[in-house]
Chains A and B, each alone.
Chain A
Amino acid sequence: MNREGEQMRHIISIGDFDRKEIDALLDHARQIDQKKYDKNILYGKILATLFFEPSTRTRMSFESAMARLGGTSLSVGSVEACSMAKGETLADTIRVVSGYADAIVIRHPKEGAARLAAEFAKVPVINAGDGAGQHPSQTLLDLYTIRQSMPIDKIDVALIGDLRYGRTAHSLASALSLYNARLHTISPKGLELPATLAAELREKGMEIVEHDDIKEVICDVDVLYVTRIQRERFPDSASYFNVTSSYRITPDLLAGAKKHLIILHPLPRVDEIDPRIDELPYARYFEQSRNGVPVRMAMLMRVMQ
Protein backbone atom coordinates (compact mmCIF):
# COMPACT_ATOMS: atom_id res chain seq x y z
CA MET A 1 0.00 0.00 0.00
CA ASN A 2 1.39 3.43 -0.83
CA ARG A 3 1.13 6.60 1.28
CA GLU A 4 -2.27 7.39 -0.18
CA GLY A 5 -3.63 4.00 0.77
CA GLU A 6 -3.69 2.64 -2.78
CA GLN A 7 -2.99 -1.07 -3.10
CA MET A 8 -0.68 -2.09 -5.92
CA ARG A 9 1.23 -5.14 -7.03
CA HIS A 10 4.87 -4.32 -6.40
CA ILE A 11 7.71 -6.83 -6.60
CA ILE A 12 10.24 -5.81 -3.96
CA SER A 13 11.63 -8.94 -2.35
CA ILE A 14 11.55 -12.65 -3.08
CA GLY A 15 10.43 -12.98 0.55
CA ASP A 16 7.08 -11.45 -0.46
CA PHE A 17 6.34 -14.55 -2.57
CA ASP A 18 5.22 -17.93 -1.34
CA ARG A 19 6.14 -21.07 -3.22
CA LYS A 20 2.83 -21.26 -5.05
CA GLU A 21 3.25 -17.74 -6.41
CA ILE A 22 6.82 -18.43 -7.53
CA ASP A 23 5.75 -21.61 -9.30
CA ALA A 24 2.87 -19.81 -11.01
CA LEU A 25 5.17 -17.06 -12.26
CA LEU A 26 7.74 -19.58 -13.53
CA ASP A 27 4.97 -21.56 -15.28
CA HIS A 28 3.86 -18.37 -16.94
CA ALA A 29 7.45 -17.59 -18.02
CA ARG A 30 7.65 -21.06 -19.61
CA GLN A 31 4.48 -20.41 -21.59
CA ILE A 32 5.97 -17.13 -22.75
CA ASP A 33 9.15 -18.99 -23.74
CA GLN A 34 6.96 -21.26 -25.86
CA LYS A 35 5.59 -18.13 -27.58
CA LYS A 36 2.17 -18.62 -26.00
CA TYR A 37 1.44 -14.97 -25.22
CA ASP A 38 -0.24 -11.91 -26.63
CA LYS A 39 2.49 -9.75 -28.20
CA ASN A 40 0.50 -6.58 -27.71
CA ILE A 41 -0.78 -7.17 -24.22
CA LEU A 42 1.07 -4.14 -22.85
CA TYR A 43 0.51 -1.97 -25.92
CA GLY A 44 0.23 1.67 -24.88
CA LYS A 45 1.90 1.03 -21.52
CA ILE A 46 5.15 2.73 -20.51
CA LEU A 47 7.85 1.31 -18.25
CA ALA A 48 10.28 3.71 -16.52
CA THR A 49 13.70 2.21 -15.81
CA LEU A 50 15.49 4.11 -13.04
CA PHE A 51 18.98 2.75 -12.68
CA PHE A 52 21.12 4.61 -10.16
CA GLU A 53 23.80 1.95 -10.45
CA PRO A 54 25.39 0.39 -13.53
CA SER A 55 23.55 -2.48 -15.19
CA THR A 56 23.68 -4.20 -18.55
CA ARG A 57 21.66 -7.38 -18.32
CA THR A 58 18.93 -6.37 -15.92
CA ARG A 59 18.12 -3.10 -17.62
CA MET A 60 18.32 -4.38 -21.18
CA SER A 61 16.30 -7.48 -20.44
CA PHE A 62 13.54 -5.43 -18.77
CA GLU A 63 13.47 -3.14 -21.79
CA SER A 64 13.50 -6.10 -24.14
CA ALA A 65 10.69 -7.76 -22.13
CA MET A 66 8.61 -4.59 -22.33
CA ALA A 67 9.17 -4.27 -26.09
CA ARG A 68 8.21 -7.90 -26.67
CA LEU A 69 4.88 -7.27 -24.94
CA GLY A 70 4.12 -4.26 -27.13
CA GLY A 71 5.00 -1.59 -24.55
CA THR A 72 7.68 1.08 -24.48
CA SER A 73 10.38 2.06 -21.98
CA LEU A 74 11.68 5.38 -20.70
CA SER A 75 14.92 5.88 -18.86
CA VAL A 76 16.87 8.73 -17.29
CA GLY A 77 20.17 7.81 -18.92
CA SER A 78 23.12 8.16 -16.59
CA VAL A 79 22.80 9.08 -12.90
CA GLU A 80 24.84 12.23 -13.52
CA ALA A 81 22.23 13.39 -16.01
CA CYS A 82 19.23 13.18 -13.68
CA SER A 83 17.84 15.34 -10.88
CA MET A 84 19.25 13.08 -8.17
CA ALA A 85 22.62 14.59 -9.07
CA LYS A 86 21.14 17.97 -8.09
CA GLY A 87 20.18 16.61 -4.68
CA GLU A 88 16.57 15.58 -5.33
CA THR A 89 15.34 12.90 -2.96
CA LEU A 90 14.39 9.50 -4.28
CA ALA A 91 10.90 10.05 -2.89
CA ASP A 92 10.43 13.13 -5.10
CA THR A 93 11.92 11.42 -8.14
CA ILE A 94 9.48 8.54 -7.71
CA ARG A 95 6.48 10.86 -7.30
CA VAL A 96 7.43 12.64 -10.52
CA VAL A 97 8.16 9.50 -12.55
CA SER A 98 4.86 7.99 -11.37
CA GLY A 99 3.19 10.58 -13.56
CA TYR A 100 5.13 9.53 -16.66
CA ALA A 101 4.90 5.75 -16.60
CA ASP A 102 2.67 2.77 -15.81
CA ALA A 103 5.35 0.91 -13.83
CA ILE A 104 8.82 1.63 -12.47
CA VAL A 105 11.86 -0.63 -12.39
CA ILE A 106 14.47 0.65 -9.96
CA ARG A 107 18.06 -0.19 -9.08
CA HIS A 108 19.60 1.85 -6.30
CA PRO A 109 22.75 1.60 -4.14
CA LYS A 110 20.86 1.92 -0.84
CA GLU A 111 19.17 -1.05 0.79
CA GLY A 112 15.43 -0.58 1.14
CA ALA A 113 15.29 1.96 -1.71
CA ALA A 114 12.72 -0.07 -3.64
CA ARG A 115 10.54 -0.41 -0.54
CA LEU A 116 10.67 3.38 -0.15
CA ALA A 117 9.86 3.82 -3.85
CA ALA A 118 6.78 1.61 -3.43
CA GLU A 119 5.59 3.86 -0.60
CA PHE A 120 5.70 6.98 -2.74
CA ALA A 121 4.78 5.57 -6.16
CA LYS A 122 1.35 5.73 -7.69
CA VAL A 123 2.28 2.90 -10.06
CA PRO A 124 3.74 -0.58 -9.42
CA VAL A 125 7.44 -0.79 -8.56
CA ILE A 126 9.81 -3.66 -9.39
CA ASN A 127 13.07 -3.92 -7.48
CA ALA A 128 16.04 -4.52 -9.81
CA GLY A 129 18.56 -4.58 -6.95
CA ASP A 130 18.97 -2.37 -3.89
CA GLY A 131 22.52 -2.27 -2.53
CA ALA A 132 23.42 -5.53 -0.84
CA GLY A 133 19.69 -6.18 -0.34
CA GLN A 134 17.27 -7.85 -2.70
CA HIS A 135 17.20 -8.70 -6.40
CA PRO A 136 14.00 -10.70 -6.92
CA SER A 137 13.99 -10.81 -10.74
CA GLN A 138 17.46 -12.39 -10.70
CA THR A 139 16.28 -15.01 -8.21
CA LEU A 140 13.25 -15.85 -10.31
CA LEU A 141 15.34 -16.32 -13.43
CA ASP A 142 17.86 -18.40 -11.44
CA LEU A 143 15.04 -20.68 -10.30
CA TYR A 144 13.64 -20.78 -13.83
CA THR A 145 17.04 -21.89 -15.17
CA ILE A 146 17.35 -24.61 -12.54
CA ARG A 147 13.85 -25.81 -13.33
CA GLN A 148 14.73 -26.17 -17.01
CA SER A 149 17.16 -28.91 -16.00
CA MET A 150 15.66 -30.52 -12.91
CA PRO A 151 12.85 -30.19 -10.37
CA ILE A 152 13.98 -27.75 -7.67
CA ASP A 153 12.80 -29.90 -4.77
CA LYS A 154 15.44 -31.26 -2.42
CA ILE A 155 18.41 -30.47 -4.64
CA ASP A 156 21.93 -29.74 -3.39
CA VAL A 157 23.07 -26.25 -4.29
CA ALA A 158 26.58 -24.90 -3.73
CA LEU A 159 26.99 -21.15 -3.43
CA ILE A 160 30.55 -20.05 -4.04
CA GLY A 161 32.23 -16.64 -3.85
CA ASP A 162 31.20 -13.48 -2.05
CA LEU A 163 28.23 -14.61 0.00
CA ARG A 164 28.33 -11.68 2.37
CA TYR A 165 27.65 -8.80 0.00
CA GLY A 166 26.26 -10.79 -2.94
CA ARG A 167 22.55 -9.94 -3.03
CA THR A 168 21.82 -12.60 -5.66
CA ALA A 169 23.14 -15.31 -3.34
CA HIS A 170 21.01 -14.05 -0.43
CA SER A 171 17.81 -13.92 -2.43
CA LEU A 172 18.43 -17.32 -4.04
CA ALA A 173 19.20 -18.95 -0.69
CA SER A 174 15.93 -17.60 0.74
CA ALA A 175 13.92 -18.86 -2.22
CA LEU A 176 15.56 -22.30 -2.13
CA SER A 177 14.48 -22.69 1.47
CA LEU A 178 10.92 -22.98 0.12
CA TYR A 179 11.98 -26.03 -1.91
CA ASN A 180 13.73 -27.97 0.86
CA ALA A 181 17.05 -27.62 -0.93
CA ARG A 182 20.32 -28.29 0.89
CA LEU A 183 22.80 -25.42 0.75
CA HIS A 184 26.58 -25.75 0.60
CA THR A 185 28.57 -22.58 1.06
CA ILE A 186 32.16 -21.94 0.04
CA SER A 187 33.45 -18.43 0.61
CA PRO A 188 36.62 -16.58 1.61
CA LYS A 189 37.06 -15.60 5.24
CA GLY A 190 35.05 -12.49 5.98
CA LEU A 191 32.75 -12.99 2.98
CA GLU A 192 30.63 -15.78 4.48
CA LEU A 193 26.83 -15.82 4.35
CA PRO A 194 25.63 -13.31 6.99
CA ALA A 195 25.03 -15.08 10.30
CA THR A 196 21.54 -13.60 10.65
CA LEU A 197 20.49 -14.91 7.23
CA ALA A 198 22.01 -18.34 7.92
CA ALA A 199 20.16 -18.50 11.25
CA GLU A 200 16.90 -17.48 9.60
CA LEU A 201 17.25 -20.14 6.90
CA ARG A 202 18.11 -22.83 9.46
CA GLU A 203 15.06 -21.80 11.44
CA LYS A 204 13.00 -22.52 8.33
CA GLY A 205 14.47 -26.02 8.32
CA MET A 206 17.14 -25.53 5.67
CA GLU A 207 20.33 -27.54 5.99
CA ILE A 208 23.41 -25.38 5.41
CA VAL A 209 26.84 -26.96 5.20
CA GLU A 210 29.96 -24.80 5.15
CA HIS A 211 33.01 -26.02 3.23
CA ASP A 212 36.58 -24.78 2.97
CA ASP A 213 37.18 -26.14 -0.49
CA ILE A 214 34.92 -26.67 -3.49
CA LYS A 215 36.57 -30.08 -4.02
CA GLU A 216 34.90 -31.35 -0.83
CA VAL A 217 31.48 -31.00 -2.36
CA ILE A 218 31.73 -30.95 -6.15
CA CYS A 219 30.68 -34.61 -6.49
CA ASP A 220 27.49 -34.10 -4.48
CA VAL A 221 25.92 -30.96 -5.86
CA ASP A 222 23.28 -30.48 -8.54
CA VAL A 223 23.79 -26.74 -8.96
CA LEU A 224 26.97 -24.72 -8.62
CA TYR A 225 26.12 -21.04 -8.23
CA VAL A 226 29.21 -18.90 -8.67
CA THR A 227 29.38 -15.23 -7.70
CA ARG A 228 32.01 -12.60 -8.32
CA ILE A 229 34.44 -11.65 -5.57
CA GLN A 230 34.97 -7.91 -5.77
CA ARG A 231 38.46 -6.51 -5.60
CA GLU A 232 37.41 -3.65 -3.31
CA ARG A 233 36.66 -6.15 -0.51
CA PHE A 234 40.40 -6.77 -0.09
CA PRO A 235 43.14 -4.52 1.30
CA ASP A 236 45.51 -5.06 -1.64
CA SER A 237 45.72 -6.72 -5.04
CA ALA A 238 48.00 -9.52 -3.82
CA SER A 239 45.52 -10.81 -1.23
CA TYR A 240 42.69 -10.46 -3.77
CA PHE A 241 44.51 -12.59 -6.37
CA ASN A 242 45.50 -15.08 -3.69
CA VAL A 243 41.90 -15.62 -2.69
CA THR A 244 40.29 -15.53 -6.12
CA SER A 245 42.66 -18.13 -7.55
CA SER A 246 41.44 -20.67 -4.99
CA TYR A 247 37.79 -19.96 -5.89
CA ARG A 248 38.18 -20.26 -9.63
CA ILE A 249 36.17 -22.94 -11.40
CA THR A 250 38.30 -24.88 -13.88
CA PRO A 251 37.57 -28.03 -15.98
CA ASP A 252 39.92 -30.11 -13.74
CA LEU A 253 37.87 -29.19 -10.70
CA LEU A 254 34.78 -30.73 -12.23
CA ALA A 255 36.21 -34.25 -12.36
CA GLY A 256 33.70 -36.52 -10.65
CA ALA A 257 30.84 -34.00 -10.86
CA LYS A 258 27.30 -35.31 -11.36
CA LYS A 259 26.34 -35.66 -15.02
CA HIS A 260 23.42 -33.30 -14.69
CA LEU A 261 25.34 -30.63 -12.73
CA ILE A 262 24.61 -27.10 -13.91
CA ILE A 263 26.83 -24.08 -13.33
CA LEU A 264 25.13 -20.72 -12.91
CA HIS A 265 26.53 -17.20 -12.51
CA PRO A 266 24.55 -13.95 -12.35
CA LEU A 267 27.26 -12.33 -14.54
CA PRO A 268 29.34 -10.32 -15.18
CA ARG A 269 32.15 -12.74 -14.46
CA VAL A 270 35.76 -11.73 -14.25
CA ASP A 271 38.04 -14.66 -13.45
CA GLU A 272 35.75 -16.89 -11.42
CA ILE A 273 34.95 -19.27 -14.25
CA ASP A 274 37.59 -20.47 -16.67
CA PRO A 275 36.41 -19.71 -20.26
CA ARG A 276 37.03 -23.39 -21.14
CA ILE A 277 33.99 -24.22 -18.99
CA ASP A 278 31.81 -22.33 -21.50
CA GLU A 279 32.04 -25.23 -23.92
CA LEU A 280 31.05 -27.88 -21.38
CA PRO A 281 27.43 -29.05 -20.98
CA TYR A 282 27.49 -27.89 -17.35
CA ALA A 283 27.67 -24.19 -18.32
CA ARG A 284 24.24 -22.55 -18.16
CA TYR A 285 25.10 -18.95 -17.33
CA PHE A 286 24.45 -17.54 -20.78
CA GLU A 287 21.17 -19.44 -20.96
CA GLN A 288 20.42 -18.07 -17.48
CA SER A 289 21.03 -14.55 -18.71
CA ARG A 290 18.74 -15.09 -21.71
CA ASN A 291 16.04 -16.41 -19.40
CA GLY A 292 15.88 -12.94 -17.91
CA VAL A 293 13.60 -11.90 -20.75
CA PRO A 294 10.69 -14.39 -20.39
CA VAL A 295 10.86 -14.21 -16.60
CA ARG A 296 10.76 -10.39 -16.65
CA MET A 297 7.94 -10.49 -19.20
CA ALA A 298 5.95 -12.57 -16.72
CA MET A 299 6.83 -10.09 -13.96
CA LEU A 300 5.75 -7.07 -16.02
CA MET A 301 2.46 -8.75 -16.85
CA ARG A 302 1.94 -9.59 -13.19
CA VAL A 303 2.26 -5.98 -12.06
CA MET A 304 0.67 -4.17 -14.99
CA GLN A 305 -2.33 -6.30 -15.85
Chain B
Amino acid sequence: MKKTENAENEGLLVRRIRNGTVIDHIDGGEALNVVKILGITGTTQEALSIATNVPSRNMGCKDIVKLTNRELSKEEVDRIALISPRATINIIRNFKVCEKKGVEIPTLIVGLVKCPNPGCISNTNEPIRSKFEVLPKGLHCTYCDWVITKDLTSHII
Protein backbone atom coordinates (compact mmCIF):
# COMPACT_ATOMS: atom_id res chain seq x y z
CA MET B 1 0.00 0.00 0.00
CA LYS B 2 2.76 2.36 0.98
CA LYS B 3 4.61 1.56 -2.22
CA THR B 4 1.60 2.48 -4.37
CA GLU B 5 1.15 5.78 -2.55
CA ASN B 6 4.80 6.64 -3.09
CA ALA B 7 4.61 5.72 -6.73
CA GLU B 8 1.54 7.92 -7.15
CA ASN B 9 3.27 10.83 -5.48
CA GLU B 10 6.34 10.38 -7.61
CA GLY B 11 4.08 10.22 -10.62
CA LEU B 12 2.70 13.63 -9.75
CA LEU B 13 6.14 15.12 -9.34
CA VAL B 14 7.82 13.60 -12.36
CA ARG B 15 5.07 12.75 -14.79
CA ARG B 16 6.46 11.56 -18.12
CA ILE B 17 6.23 13.86 -21.11
CA ARG B 18 5.76 12.73 -24.72
CA ASN B 19 8.01 15.33 -26.38
CA GLY B 20 10.19 18.08 -24.99
CA THR B 21 13.07 18.60 -22.58
CA VAL B 22 13.68 17.44 -19.04
CA ILE B 23 16.29 19.42 -17.14
CA ASP B 24 17.41 17.27 -14.26
CA HIS B 25 19.94 17.63 -11.45
CA ILE B 26 19.37 21.34 -11.09
CA ASP B 27 20.83 22.57 -7.80
CA GLY B 28 18.06 22.61 -5.18
CA GLY B 29 16.15 25.91 -5.24
CA GLU B 30 17.43 27.06 -8.63
CA ALA B 31 14.56 25.79 -10.82
CA LEU B 32 12.77 29.12 -10.96
CA ASN B 33 15.99 30.83 -12.01
CA VAL B 34 16.48 28.23 -14.74
CA VAL B 35 12.99 29.02 -16.00
CA LYS B 36 13.83 32.72 -15.90
CA ILE B 37 17.04 32.17 -17.87
CA LEU B 38 15.08 30.31 -20.53
CA GLY B 39 12.76 33.28 -20.90
CA ILE B 40 9.68 31.32 -19.88
CA THR B 41 7.01 33.52 -18.38
CA GLY B 42 3.34 33.03 -17.63
CA THR B 43 2.52 34.32 -21.10
CA THR B 44 4.62 31.82 -23.10
CA GLN B 45 3.08 28.70 -24.64
CA GLU B 46 5.08 25.83 -23.12
CA ALA B 47 3.46 23.36 -20.71
CA LEU B 48 5.81 23.51 -17.78
CA SER B 49 6.30 21.29 -14.72
CA ILE B 50 8.63 22.21 -11.94
CA ALA B 51 9.66 20.02 -9.04
CA THR B 52 11.75 21.64 -6.35
CA ASN B 53 13.80 20.16 -3.52
CA VAL B 54 13.26 16.57 -4.62
CA PRO B 55 15.42 14.13 -2.58
CA SER B 56 18.47 13.04 -4.58
CA ARG B 57 20.99 10.37 -3.66
CA ASN B 58 23.97 12.26 -5.09
CA MET B 59 22.93 15.85 -4.58
CA GLY B 60 20.96 15.75 -1.34
CA CYS B 61 18.15 17.62 -3.02
CA LYS B 62 17.62 18.72 -6.56
CA ASP B 63 15.14 20.51 -8.79
CA ILE B 64 13.64 19.25 -12.04
CA VAL B 65 12.10 21.27 -14.88
CA LYS B 66 10.07 19.67 -17.66
CA LEU B 67 9.18 21.53 -20.82
CA THR B 68 6.63 20.03 -23.17
CA ASN B 69 7.09 20.38 -26.92
CA ARG B 70 10.28 22.42 -26.71
CA GLU B 71 13.82 21.21 -27.33
CA LEU B 72 16.48 23.49 -25.92
CA SER B 73 19.29 24.80 -28.11
CA LYS B 74 22.93 24.46 -27.09
CA GLU B 75 23.15 28.14 -26.22
CA GLU B 76 20.12 27.85 -23.94
CA VAL B 77 21.52 24.74 -22.31
CA ASP B 78 24.86 26.37 -21.61
CA ARG B 79 23.24 29.38 -19.97
CA ILE B 80 21.89 27.00 -17.35
CA ALA B 81 25.46 26.07 -16.47
CA LEU B 82 25.97 29.54 -15.02
CA ILE B 83 23.63 28.82 -12.13
CA SER B 84 23.59 25.05 -12.04
CA PRO B 85 26.70 23.47 -13.52
CA ARG B 86 25.65 19.91 -12.62
CA ALA B 87 22.38 20.05 -14.53
CA THR B 88 21.69 17.40 -17.17
CA ILE B 89 19.49 17.82 -20.19
CA ASN B 90 17.32 15.04 -21.58
CA ILE B 91 15.65 15.54 -24.93
CA ILE B 92 12.47 13.44 -25.03
CA ARG B 93 10.80 12.24 -28.21
CA ASN B 94 7.81 9.97 -28.02
CA PHE B 95 8.40 9.26 -24.30
CA LYS B 96 11.98 8.15 -24.94
CA VAL B 97 15.21 9.89 -23.96
CA CYS B 98 16.80 10.55 -27.36
CA GLU B 99 19.67 12.74 -26.23
CA LYS B 100 21.27 13.19 -22.84
CA LYS B 101 23.83 15.92 -22.30
CA GLY B 102 25.54 17.90 -19.61
CA VAL B 103 25.93 21.64 -19.60
CA GLU B 104 29.06 23.57 -20.47
CA ILE B 105 29.89 26.97 -19.03
CA PRO B 106 29.93 29.41 -21.99
CA THR B 107 32.84 31.80 -22.55
CA LEU B 108 30.61 34.72 -23.51
CA ILE B 109 27.01 35.44 -22.55
CA VAL B 110 25.03 37.91 -24.57
CA GLY B 111 21.77 39.59 -23.61
CA LEU B 112 21.20 37.50 -20.50
CA VAL B 113 22.56 39.59 -17.66
CA LYS B 114 22.04 43.29 -16.94
CA CYS B 115 25.22 45.17 -16.04
CA PRO B 116 24.90 46.42 -12.42
CA ASN B 117 26.93 49.54 -13.27
CA PRO B 118 24.39 52.35 -13.80
CA GLY B 119 27.02 54.26 -15.79
CA CYS B 120 27.53 51.44 -18.30
CA ILE B 121 26.65 52.17 -21.93
CA SER B 122 24.79 48.83 -22.10
CA ASN B 123 22.16 50.32 -19.75
CA THR B 124 21.14 53.02 -22.22
CA ASN B 125 18.94 53.06 -25.32
CA GLU B 126 21.79 51.95 -27.61
CA PRO B 127 20.98 49.09 -30.01
CA ILE B 128 23.20 46.57 -28.23
CA ARG B 129 22.76 43.62 -25.91
CA SER B 130 24.78 43.24 -22.74
CA LYS B 131 27.90 41.14 -23.19
CA PHE B 132 29.80 39.37 -20.40
CA GLU B 133 32.92 37.23 -20.53
CA VAL B 134 32.83 34.30 -18.12
CA LEU B 135 36.05 34.47 -16.07
CA PRO B 136 37.13 32.50 -12.99
CA LYS B 137 36.56 35.59 -10.82
CA GLY B 138 33.05 36.24 -12.20
CA LEU B 139 31.24 37.78 -15.15
CA HIS B 140 33.15 40.60 -16.79
CA CYS B 141 31.18 43.27 -18.70
CA THR B 142 33.02 43.71 -21.99
CA TYR B 143 31.78 47.31 -22.24
CA CYS B 144 32.57 48.86 -18.86
CA ASP B 145 34.83 46.19 -17.24
CA TRP B 146 32.49 45.73 -14.23
CA VAL B 147 32.81 42.26 -12.72
CA ILE B 148 29.81 40.50 -11.17
CA THR B 149 31.23 38.20 -8.52
CA LYS B 150 28.12 37.19 -6.59
CA ASP B 151 24.36 36.89 -6.72
CA LEU B 152 24.32 36.40 -10.47
CA THR B 153 20.67 35.43 -10.62
CA SER B 154 19.51 38.83 -9.40
CA HIS B 155 21.09 40.36 -12.52
CA ILE B 156 19.38 38.10 -15.03
CA ILE B 157 17.31 40.14 -17.44
A residues near B (Cβ < 8 Å) are: 13, 15, 89-91, 108-113, 115-116, 119, 130-134, 196
Q: Knowing A89-B127, A90-B126 touch, does A112 contact B147 (C-beta < 8 A)?
A: no
Query: What interface size band does chain B fall in?
Result: 10 to 19
Q: Decide: B120 and A110 in contact? CB cutoff 8 A.
A: yes
Q: Decide: B142 and A111 in contact? CB cutoff 8 A.
A: no
Q: Decide: B128 and A91 in contact? CB cutoff 8 A.
A: yes
Residues on A with beta carbons closer than 8 Å to the beta carbon of B126: 89-91, 116
A2 to B109, CA, bound (A): 18
Query: Is B141 part of the binding interface, using a Cβ–Cβ cutoff of 8 Å?
Result: yes
Interface of B is mostly: loop
Give the most central of B121, B125, B143: most A CB within 10 Å: B121
Give the most central of B119, B141, B146, B147: most A CB within 10 Å: B119
B residues near A (Cβ < 8 Å) are: 117, 119-122, 124-128, 141-147, 149
Closest 8 CB pairs of A and B: A112-B143, A111-B144, A112-B144, A112-B121, A110-B121, A113-B121, A131-B119, A111-B119
A130 to B127, CA, bound (A): 18
Q: Decide: A132 and B142 in contact? CB cutoff 8 A.
A: no
Residues on A with beta carbons closer than 8 Å to the beta carbon of B141: 112
Distance in Å from the Cβ of A143 to the closest Cβ of chain B?
20
Q: Decide: A111 and B143 in contact? CB cutoff 8 A.
A: yes
Residue of B nearest to A131 (CB): B119
Query: Could you list some 7 contacts between A and B, CB below 8 A?
Result: A90-B126, A91-B126, A112-B122, A112-B144, A115-B143, A132-B119, A134-B145
A89 to B145, CA, bound (A): 21
Residues on B with beta carbons closer than 8 Å to the beta carbon of A90: 121, 124, 126
B127 touches which of A91, A115, A132 (Cβ 8 Å): A91
